[in-house]
Amino acid sequence: MATAGCAVDPPDAGAAAPAWHSLGADQALQALAAGAHGLDSRQARERLARHGPNRLAPARRRGPVLRLLRQFHNILLYIMVAAAAITAVLGHGVDTAVLLGAVVVNALIGFVQEGKAESAMDAIRSLLAPRAVVRRDGQRREIEAAQLVPGDIVFLASGDRVPADLRLLEARELRVDESALTGESVPAEKDTAAAAPDAPLAERFGMAYSGTLVVSGTARGVVVATGAATELGHINRMVGAVASLATPLMRQMARFGQLLAGAILLLAAGTWLLGTAALGHPPAEMFMMVVALAASAIPEGLPAVMTITLALGVQRMARRKAIVRRLPAVEALGSVSVICTDKTGTLTRNEMTVQRLVCGGHVVDVGGIGYAPVGNLSRDGRHVDASANPALAMAVRTGLLCNDATLHEAEGIWRVDGDPTEGALLVLARKAGLAGESGAAGWPRLDAIPFESEHRLMATWHRDPAGAPWILVKGAPERVIDLCATEWRAHGELPVDVDWWRRMATDTAAQGLRVLALACKPAAPAGARLGWDDVRSGYVMLGLVGIIDPPREEAAQAVRECHRAGIRVKMITGDHAETAKAIGAQLGLGLGKPAVTGSEIALMDDAALRRIAWDIDVFARASPEHKLRLVQALQARGAVVAMTGDGVNDAPALKRADVGVAMGLKGTEAAKEAADIVLADDNFATLATAVREGRGVYDNIRKFILFMLPTNGGEALVVVSAILFGLTLPLTPAQVLWINMVTSSTLGLALAFEPAEPGLMARPPRPPSERLLSGFFVWRVLFVSVLMMAATLGLFLLELHRGTPLDTARTIAVNAVVAAEMLYLLNSRSILAPAFSPGAGRGNPMVWLTIAACVALQLAFTYLPLLQRVFASTALDLQQWARVLAAGLLVFALAELEKWAIRARRSRAAMAPAQG
């Protein structure tokens, strides 16, 4: 059976494909046994049969039935099914239906959310070009891209998607957008030169890779890899091989559910054996008591409250422009201890900006960022008037005229059509006072030589308002400086100081700026058209411009906020090391440390990479493998990692990370499908805000557990105490179910709406190994459980001693439990802060709504004849209600006293080292 693609016709099955980017064009053709005129039909058929079609093999998928059944393999759902079985035994059909419905809803949520890898690989496959223009049988024809084979000659034009990996044979003004593979912020300028064998993908200028987009120019290349053997196929295999990790909360809940289920079963079995064997109770009677015990202990509301809490987090994040695709990621984001972020568009504005202009022997600083033409030119802090400086004015005008981009404003937003670097020169002209069309007025363009990678410059021919001819040049500094004989200084033209200009170009580049040189010649072309012979010498050096994609102002603040929260931020980009280091320094990343490149990462073993990944904050020229290895290395150090990305090359790392975050504006579909969260505004500050929301979600889940377990525990202790001491059961199984239904469906839900507490981002991230039931939590659960048991059982026994009928005493006990839970809800709004601290009554109206609903339900339970018949309840008088309220207030007061004691102890412990 044919494979899904191959890189070459190897001499034997074990031969490795050569590094095509390091071979010359003729060498590549020879290695492929191909000619410059392409293959004939017979050769193409043979190679297609041997190598398979040029497509990515679809992933193996589980069928929908198996995927659905797997969703029920969850300990919490087992507990809910057990609760449903108990209610069915008791004949409570409505309760059984509600519990089973909750089981089905939770399973369906998981079913819909599964399939991350499959969706991501579908998105990668969609990048493949459907058609290709090739030379077959000596003729140029269009075929399906799936029919391409190694050795085919392919033609590319502007707007084409590259159909396979190509070694370029010819390239004319070819620029290819490879950002999806490399992370580069500007299109790559292509040529036919061979690259070094160890050159990173972003510097293989003689190659065009499958799935990338031709921005401009034309080319001819030979197919060297198809299908799974392409760079795109390599990433596709990586995505399929990467295993997704469960979120920290899901891992904790799995352990918690197992422990809780085991504890409930042991308690129920032990109680039944004790009651029948030791105390002599009839087995049938003990069975009903054990049913009541199990019903009181099972947290039926936990999965539902978790889902609602996470869903509310999704809504809050969506309002902040963070779109959550997978529900558990809401809380996982709050657990993050390391954020690995892309640079372009996430930390930066993705708007190239001129920041430095070397002209007339001076360095001019350019204010403002982005495409909005707001800012001025200054030198040593003093404003510079371009109109009073001929050299500066001519340099700026050259950048404006030797330019094919356009700058326009719509609804207050400035945009550039064309090359973003050229757009930055247009913005510079407006800042210098050469506004738009007026700057070009009187300087009509007569001819132009577009940018070509071979010559690394662009030239235009103009006539000035006086009718004099000018040839203007813009390009790479080393190329333009060599064309110049003189330079323009404030006091006239002087012989060009080549060494000085080269030093200034090097100094500008060392600051992470992309450098362009500007020059002019007051002359006309030798012929009727502008040709390369006119651009060989005799120019006047005007200046150098330093351009950068500046950091977002809010990103710097967000990085500082993350650092305060104990979250490490690491920048991983495909850009140049100097550029990455310069941007990192402006954001407070990697200060005093080097930037590590992908080629250096490739030489490290896993142990060395774990050390470097933790210590270094800026990584440049990173490939998909490097990003994936960095995420794995950080996870091996115990970090919970969030990874941001926008390209196909980011998909493996996004999938592997604990939380994958894709960019919504410029992100590829492959990145979005592999991610858990999509940022609608591509802004790192939005991610920092989402982390805060995630921490708030986890806090609310912990608060609910601290509310739920003591209330369930108190009910269970009431039943256990009655069995142990041979007392009349204070709560019947039906009454226990009523309490659970009332408190789970009303009171517990209120905690899902709690706003984030102050100081949330001043805490360090919680360790991934932290248990939900810490020693403090166990103490709190036991303390409050005993309080509720003592208050309920004590009041029940007091009522029996006063001669109160059994049904009325049980009604008082039920209301005492619910009153204690209503007041304990106020305790639970904060784990340690006082219940009535400033602002405690505000921020969550659901607390008071649920308490009001609970009061109404208890009044119905107590006075409604229908419910009196079902639950054997009776009406109460005011004195009895007063005793119920007193029992609840006792629990509330002692719970607040416990919180005060813990706060005082921690305050003393914090002060002790300072005093010492």
68 pLDDT higher than 80: no
Residue 78: the pLDDT is 67
Cβ neighbors of 17 (< 8 A, separation 6 or more) are 7, 8, 10, 224, 225, 229
CA separation for the pair 540, 496 (Å, rounded):
8
The confidence score (pLDDT) of residue 648 equals 76
Closest residue by Cα to residue 225 from 213, 216, 235:
235
pLDDT tens digits for range 843-889:
788 888 999 999 999 999 999 999 999 888 999 999 999 999 999 99
What's the pLDDT at 189? 86
Kindly report the backbone phi and psi dihedral angles of residue 149, in degrees, each rounded to the nearest multiple of 5, phi listed first.
Answer: -135, 160
3-class state of residue 446 by DSSP: strand
- Active site residues per annotation: 342
Q: Residues 520, 471: contact at Cβ < 8 Å?
A: yes
Q: Are 653 and 630 in contact (CB under 8 A)?
A: yes
Helix (H, G, I), strand (E, B) or coil at 601: helix
In which residue are the tokens 């809800």 written? Answer: 825
Kindly report the CA angle at 898 between 893 and 903, in degrees rounded to 5? 125
- Are 108 and 307 in contact by the 8 Å Cβ rule? The answer is no
- How far apart are the C-alpha atoms of 785 and 139, rounded to whole Å? 85
Residue 414 CB contacts under 8 Å (≥ 6 apart), including other chains:
370, 371, 372, 373, 407, 408, 427
What confidence score (pLDDT) does residue 67 get? 64
Question: How confident is the model at residue 266, as a pLDDT?
Answer: 82
Query: Residues 136, 32: contact at Cβ < 8 Å?
Result: no
Res. 842 pLDDT band, cuts 50 70 90 = low
Residue 492: exposed, middle, or buried by beta-carbon count in 10 A (0-12, 13-18, 19+)? exposed
Q: What is the pLDDT of residues 630-646, one digit of tens each?
A: 999 999 998 999 998 87
pLDDT band for position 5 (cuts 50, 70, 90):
very low
CB contact set of 838 (below 8 Å; sequence gap of 6+): none
Q: Are 401 and 443 in contact (CB under 8 A)?
A: yes
User: Which run of H or of E encompasses 46?
Assistant: helix 41-51
Under 8 Å between Cβ of 676 and 325: yes
- CB-count exposure of residue 882 (10 Å: 0-12, 13-18, 19+): exposed
Report how far residue 901's alpha carbon sits from residue 336's, in angstroms, rounded to the nearest whole number. Answer: 31
And the tokens for 171? 């390239």
Amino acid at 265: L
Mean of pLDDT values over 42-65? 79
Give the model's confidence band at 11: pLDDT under 50 very low, under 70 low, under 90 confident, else very high. Answer: very low
- Give the predicted TM-score (pTM) of the model: 0.69
Residues 830-839: pLDDT tens digits? 888 888 766 5
When pLDDT is cut at 50, 70 and 90, the band that residue 20 belongs to is: very high
d(CA 188, CA 199): 14
State how far the Cα of 165 lies from the Cα of 179, in Å rounded to an integer: 16
Cα–Cα distances in angstroms (integers) from residue 187 to residues 101, 341, 457, in the given order: 53, 21, 15
Task: Return the pLDDT at 260.
Answer: 73
Q: What percent of the chain has pLDDT over 90?
A: 35
Which contacts qualify for 864-870: CB closer than 8 Å, 24 or more apart?
Answer: 870/734
The predicted-structure confidence for 173-199, as pLDDT tens digits, reads as follows: 888 888 778 767 678 889 899 998 888
pLDDT at residue 109 is higher than 70? no
What band does 272 get if pLDDT is binned at 50, 70 and 90? confident
Q: What is the mean pLDDT of residues 560-578?
A: 89
Question: How wide is the angle at C-alpha 573 spanned by C-alphas 569 and 576, nearest 5°?
Answer: 125
* DSSP classification of residue 770: -
Which residues make Cβ contacts (< 8 Å) with residue 672, sequence separation at least 6? Answer: 123, 325, 662, 664, 678
Question: What is the arithmetic mean of pLDDT over 578-598?
Answer: 90
